[in-house]
Amino acid sequence: MGLAKLKSMLDESERVVFFGGAGVSTESGIPDFRSDTGLFKTLEGRSYPPERLLSHSFFIRYPDEFYRFYKSKLLCLKAKPNGAHVALAKLEEEGKLKAVITQNIDGLHQAAGSKNVLELHGSMHRNYCMDCGESYPLTAVINSEVVVPLCSGCNGIIRPDVVLYEESLNSDVVDKAIDYIRNADMLIVGGTSLEVNPAASFIAQYGGDKLVLINKSSTQYDDRANLIIRDSIGKVLAQAVS
């Protein structure tokens, strides 16, 4: 019933927007933070919780500890796009999907072929020197001979172009995301509990009648949704777009 309705809604739509969270990437083997098997649960015995380790102030004060955690837990280099990533790229190629708005930093949407991806929290694939601004690929972080990668030009610290806790989202990306949501005739929200603001509040900008929630747990927007599917987002989207 749910899958058939999803397919019907997609057939009727011309301006589809997808808003995704960590649950899209967990199906590719990337850990999230808040699930029963997420980083908060698996690192309970650690001196600092993940939200502290990934904060701006912690990075500035303890860059070595930050990078040890970041490299060991967040850089899942063997992860590949799953059915959700592939299906969304296909929808974009067909002209139906206008934008992917993601809270993930792994670049798997682009790896699957998506072109218009708005990364609310940045990307681990972009890095830059904090002193001179020189850009660096992810390999500069991975292959660094020291824990904290340093700029080859000025010896400044290289940091990932990601939004850390205590930092604001990029205003240009936010404005584009809200504009796409407002103009969508169908909004698919998947793999997110919609607990993290301000990103979660973007859903309130959608005024249409085709709000689809694909998530294994309930969300604060369930009562507003036109369709709720409690299943694997990779499986659901792969079947819906086949």
Residues catalogued as catalytic = 121
Hey, how many other C-beta atoms are within 10 angstroms of the C-beta on 180? 24
CB contact set of 192 (below 8 Å; sequence gap of 6+): 19, 20, 21, 22, 23, 103, 200, 215, 219
- Residues 13, 22: Cα–Cα separation, whole Å: 25
Q: Which two tokens stand for residue 153?
A: 């030009």
Signed CA dihedral, 73, 74, 79, 85: sign only: positive
For residue 125, give every residue at least 6 positions away whose Cβ sits within 8 Å of its Cβ, in sequence order, or none: 107, 137, 138
> How far is Cα 152 from Cα 45, in angstroms, rounded to an integer?
36
Cα→Cα distances 223→162, 184, 201, 228, Å: 32, 19, 15, 10
CB 97 within 8 A of CB 18: yes
